């Protein structure tokens, strides 16, 4: 069953033609992700560093930062932590992702996901987004943590099977027009994985796609000119027993049809990859989405300067910036602002590269 699913997924990837999206400026995007306001507090200005964009966590977005960014000519893109459920679960334990044993799936390192079918959580996130868009006129929204509970920002991914709560299995059963047999969660999970695994994986992908569509609709209604982006796990389809699709619930083709910008998370050091992997992945996804003939969606990767785990040298940072700026990339952002302040060599590297039209 697994080999059949992988074959179908790869075949779909290779036959992709990304749809036309809204018009986006041809200016090459050069940004910093995280809490770029730390650079301002240290006396720097964004424009003097060659930047033309900031990618700010929603929790770090405030009026002072917004006004200063705009005054310096920055595009302001806000990150939105979509399915990060840690704080919500404190008061809503019924939203906890349930594993195939019927138990609450434990935190995956520092990350704690959530059951994506919990209606209260979806309303909670929708209300948060409406509040942000009501306060700030942004250039774009970037959805983050768009995946089922798992941890991929490491050399040893944590990939639990979720979510088998009654709400999820009931919704899945309705999708396939079947009453899922079993007296308890382990029985129902076992039946699903042994009998309808392919349909289960497809349903899980569809749940995430609906999240992207629904939040995208909120953005379009509130600010139709703003672009919709998504940060996503940068794995190949066969990595970790096809975990991108099977466990994370991600289909790059499906995402490409629903967003204006794809932002692959090319954290080479966290994932134990060589710097050349950054360019190799971009070349791969450009081919998959046929971007030489159809330049939608845009590809704006995020690359690593952050010293965790270990140290990312200034020269290593330079290399991933250059790799990340190659076609089909039409923009790039680096993580994190703090790493620039901790190592001024990296700050100089970014300034030099961002001083060019396209880092090279």
The whole-number pLDDT of residue 1 equals 46
Task: List, for residues 233-275, the tens digit of each pLDDT value.
Answer: 999 999 999 999 999 999 999 999 999 999 999 999 999 999 9
Query: Helix H segments across 232-313?
Result: 239-246, 252-256, 276-288
CA max distance for the chain: 64
Total-model pTM:
0.93
Does residue 142 carry a pLDDT above 90?
yes
Q: Is the pLDDT of residue 113 over 60?
A: yes
Helix or strand holding residue 179 (H, E): none
Q: Is the dihedral of CA 88, 90, 95, 97 positive or negative?
A: positive
If one compares 7 and 355, the residue with the highest pLDDT of the two is 355
Over range 181-207, report the average pLDDT: 98
Q: What is the pLDDT of residues 314-324, one digit of tens each?
A: 999 999 999 99
Averaged pLDDT for residues 194-200: 98
Residues 49-90 pLDDT 10s:
999 999 999 999 999 999 999 999 999 999 999 999 999 999
pLDDT at 2: 47
Which pLDDT score, from 0 to 100, does residue 22 have? 66
Residue 16 has pLDDT above 80, yes or no: no
pLDDT at 305 over 70: yes
- The 10s digit of each residue's pLDDT in 284-302 is 999 999 887 557 899 999 9
CA 191 distance to own-chain centroid: 31
Average pLDDT over residues 191-212: 98
> 29-159+204-354 architecture in CATH?
Alpha-Beta Barrel (3.20)
CA pair distance 317, 323, nearest whole angstrom: 10
pLDDT at 24: 80
Instruction: Give domain limits for the chain.
Output: 29-159+204-354
């Amino acid at each position: 069953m697994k080999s059949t699913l992988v074959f179908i997924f790869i075949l779909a990837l290779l036959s992709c033609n990304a749809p036309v999206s809204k018009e986006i400026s041809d200016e090459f995007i050069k940004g910093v992700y995280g809490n770029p306001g730390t650079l301002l507090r240290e006396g720097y200005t964004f424009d003097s560093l060659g930047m033309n964009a900031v990618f700010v966590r929603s929790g770090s977005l405030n009026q002072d930062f917004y006004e200063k960014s705009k005054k310096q000519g920055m595009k302001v893109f806000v990150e939105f932590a979509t399915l990060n459920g840690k704080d919500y679960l404190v008061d809503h334990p019924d939203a906890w992702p349930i594993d195939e044993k019927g138990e609450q799936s434990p935190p995956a390192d520092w990350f704690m996901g959530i059951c994506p079918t919990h209606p209260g959580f979806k309303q909670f996130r929708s209300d948060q987004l409406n509040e942000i868009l009501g306060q700030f006129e942004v250039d774009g929204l970037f959805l983050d943590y768009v995946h089922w509970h798992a941890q991929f920002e490491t050399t040893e991914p944590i990939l639990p099977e979720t979510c088998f709560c009654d709400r999820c299995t009931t919704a899945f059963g309705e999708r396939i027009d079947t009453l899922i047999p079993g007296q308890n969660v382990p029985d129902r999970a076992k039946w699903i994985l042994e009998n309808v695994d392919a349909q289960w994986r497809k349903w899980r992908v569809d749940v995430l796609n609906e999240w992207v569509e629904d939040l995208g609709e909120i953005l379009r209604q509130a600010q139709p000119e703003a672009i919709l982006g998504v940060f996503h796990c940068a794995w190949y389809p066969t990595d970790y027993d096809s975990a991108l699709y099977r466990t994370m619930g991600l289909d790059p083709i499906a995402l490409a049809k629903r967003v204006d910008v794809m932002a692959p998370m090319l954290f080479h050091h966290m994932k134990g990859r060589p710097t050349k992997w950054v360019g190799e992945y971009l070349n791969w996804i450009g081919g998959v989405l046929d971007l030489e003939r159809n330049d939608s969606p845009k590809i704006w990767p995020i690359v690593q300067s952050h010293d965790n785990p270990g140290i990312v040298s200034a020269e290593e940072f330079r290399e991933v910036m250059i790799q990340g700026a190659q076609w089909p990339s039409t923009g790039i952002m680096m993580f994190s602002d703090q790493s620039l302040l901790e190592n001024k060599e990296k700050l100089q590297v970014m300034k030099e590269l961002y001083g060019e039209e396209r880092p090279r």
